[in-house]
Structure 1
């Protein structure tokens, strides 16, 4: 049975096709030292090298979004920007284009501030961000305050309770057009470490297939596969997290127009839809996304 065709990147997503390495090196000259030629003679970087991946991300943010400062604390998740951008662009279709001052809540922002950077620069959205990790919040605040394009657009908040998602973050009287989230995927630290190692081995295998026989660096500890506990795992994993999110969303139905979350495991889509129907959500939408062979999706819902 053939896999379903990827829907491709959103028309507004600027990250289609191969990376424009010369333009990225112009934006961030430090990237030049990391550029290599693949067996086809095309310019690329070593995606198993954490420093190269961080520099690539920084160059992408500078070139496409006008970001002047971006950095990550050691060991924190370095996200792939094209896929992250697609979530923002597809979520923009849930907002009436006549709306002004669109307000968005990003749950579990992490240290990179990726979604607010893209949403604030591409659509001029206002963001509130939340994270349970103080280091992530500190990093997000630094990025938000040190970039002129982001000043006054992003309010970074610490979630001080592991039991809550919206409680303690959404304040009385606040209204949001959208919420978004990239939930923790794994159920335990051991499962997260196994996933990281598997991803590293796949990258190394792909590298050898392309004819690169260089010894692979220790990518297990690399920033491109980094991530702290709150970024990678929680008790019950993605299924438990999104169920809690659905349950709490009902409490804030009058303050949010559309709730949404990415879903990594396809089987969790049906489980979340079932729970949302039990909670009497008035509208539930599943939006497919794709980049090359990789398929992903998010679920959006609202209450009337």
Structure 2
């Protein structure tokens, strides 16, 4: 994912959520609807989350230091994880608390026309934000399914914005359902039901985001296709007959560490081995431009010892 694409989707979502949050708070003042209050807090939390993503992207661009020799690329993963925490603690828990409270102490919806007007406006604004996130994601998603893209993307911003926008749209539908049923039936508990539905939705999205960003924080390898290209590049010249083993690690969405033990001929000189390693590194960087840090260890290939062999490799 290009940084520009992710930033465009984040800014679009931030602009939509700020305007929607203001409108929802106005509607809450006039209606005293718990669904509207939950949606107001939801939009404020989303706005804060988009600001965190922008902050993470900026901090990740800092130059490497002796204390952080591989740079700060993973700051994007850290701030995406914070987004999940904020979404759960502020959005989900508040909505669940407010829903339970209003279910136990229901109140009628006053001035429902404000709620309907704001919810319709918010749905239209969220559709435009969601459309931007979809367009930017399609530029990098390839033939992956949406779920696979969210699960496997090494760039956290677009999956986060996609899930937030989807959650926002569904939350608005739930709020519209709760307010409508409360107005039609005259029973304020329906408003509380809509609020509880919003809380459960936000909690589910927060859990998915937390699990995926936790995996990125711990450290994920490159995908199978990328690793195949790396192996192909390493063995694409006469200097490297075989890759004995390969390890990859994402230092950030656009920075990959490659460590490999490669076979060299037993009679190669040190100078020949060094030239071969340099050539192999150039091929890898050409095939996988995000391979910024490459460590290649030359070795002699040894066939795996038979199962019944002694520790020194001779037959038992």
Q: Give TM-score scaled by structure 2 length.
A: 0.25
More strand by share: 1
Q: Give TM-score scaled by structure 1 length.
A: 0.26
More helix by share: 2
